[in-house]
C-alpha cells in the first residue's frame, strides 16, 4: 500500500442528496479522492470492477437489496477494496451479517465527517472501525453468527497462553482502540502493538482482529475493561 497516494473511494448510496453531500465533504479531505458514486448494488458492482477503488462506502438500504447482501459481489468485483458500511441500521443482525460477509467496518450515518475521514484511513491501513453507538452489540452479533453456524472458531489455545501485555491489548481491541491509541495508552511504539496483535492471533489460532474482538467480548464481556469518554467497541479486522 502506497501511503503517499490518495485513497480512492467509491460511494454507494441511493439517496442522491446525501450521496452528493458526502462526496463534496470527502473532496475537502486531504489524501482522499472520490473516483465514483452510484445509487444501487448492480451499478456498484460494475463500477467497483472498473475503478478498483481502495475503499467502498456502502449504504445498507439500497433499491431491491440490502447492502450486506451486496457484499460478496462487491468483494468479488474488487478484491483489493475494503468495504466500510455507512448506514442508519443499529441492528445486531446487520452488524453480524456485515462482519460475516467481509465488511471492513461499520459506521452509523450520524458520524462526524472528521471521524468518517479518520475511519476511512483506518480501514485503508487494515483496521475496521465500528461506531461507538454499537457498543455491547458485538456479543449479540456473535450469538447470531453462532446460531447460523458461522461464528469464528473457538481458539485452540486458552487465554492463559497470552502474556499480561497481550491480555491488556486484547481488551483494548475489544473496546475499539486503534493501534495508535493502544500505543499511547501503554506508552509503546505502534509497531510494537502490531507485533503483539500478530502474536495474539497466532496464539489463539484466529485469522482476524474481528475474531479476536468477538472472542474477547464473549470471554471478558464487551466494554468491561477500562472505561473512558470514547465509550467502547470498534471491532478491527486485520486480514
Q: For the chain, how big is the Rg over CA atoms in Å?
A: 17
The band of 234, judged by pLDDT with boundaries at 50, 70 and 90, is: very low
**Model confidence over 124-175: pLDDT tens digits?**
987 778 887 775 676 666 666 666 665 555 554 567 788 999 999 988 887 7
CATH architecture of 137-221: Orthogonal Bundle (1.10)
**Superfamily grouping for domain 7-132:** Response regulator (3.40.50.2300)
What residue segments make up the domains of the chain, in order of their start?
7-132, 137-221
In the DSSP assignment, the letter for residue 25 is H
Give this prediction's pTM: 0.72
Q: Which residues contact 204 (CB under 8 A, 6 or more apart)?
A: 155, 156, 157, 159, 161, 162, 212, 215
Amino acid at each position: 500500500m502506497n501511503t503517499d497516494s490518495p485513497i480512492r473511494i467509491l460511494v454507494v448510496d441511493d439517496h442522491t442528496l446525501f450521496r452528493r453531500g458526502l462526496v463534496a465533504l470527502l473532496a475537502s479531505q486531504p489524501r482522499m479522492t472520490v473516483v465514483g458514486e452510484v445509487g444501487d448494488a448492480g451499478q456498484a458492482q460494475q463500477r467497483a470492477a472498473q475503478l478498483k477503488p481502495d475503499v467502498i462506502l456502502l449504504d445498507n438500504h439500497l433499491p431491491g437489496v440490502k447492502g450486506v447482501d451486496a457484499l460478496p459481489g462487491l468483494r468479488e468485483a474488487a478484491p483489493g477494496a475494503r468495504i466500510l458500511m455507512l448506514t442508519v441500521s443499529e441492528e445486531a443482525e446487520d452488524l453480524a451479517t456485515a462482519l460475516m460477509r467481509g465488511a471492513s467496518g461499520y459506521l452509523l450515518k450520524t458520524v462526524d465527517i472528521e471521524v468518517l475521514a479518520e475511519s476511512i484511513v483506518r480501514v485503508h491501513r487494515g483496521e475496521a472501525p465500528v461506531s461507538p453507538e454499537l457498543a455491547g452489540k458485538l456479543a449479540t452479533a456473535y450469538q447470531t453468527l453462532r446460531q447460523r453456524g458461522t461464528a469464528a472458531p473457538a481458539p485452540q489455545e486458552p487465554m492463559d497462553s497470552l502474556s499480561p501485555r497481550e491480555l491488556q491489548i486484547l481488551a483494548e481491541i475489544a473496546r475499539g482502540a486503534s493501534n495508535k491509541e493502544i500505543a499511547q495508552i501503554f506508552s509503546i511504539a505502534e509497531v510494537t502493538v502490531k507485533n503483539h496483535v500478530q502474536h495474539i492471533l497466532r496464539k489463539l489460532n484466529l485469522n482476524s482482529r474481528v475474531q479476536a474482538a468477538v472472542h474477547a467480548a464473549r470471554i471478558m464481556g464487551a466494554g468491561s475493561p477500562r472505561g473512558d469518554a470514547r465509550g467502547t467497541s470498534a471491532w478491527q479486522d486485520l486480514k
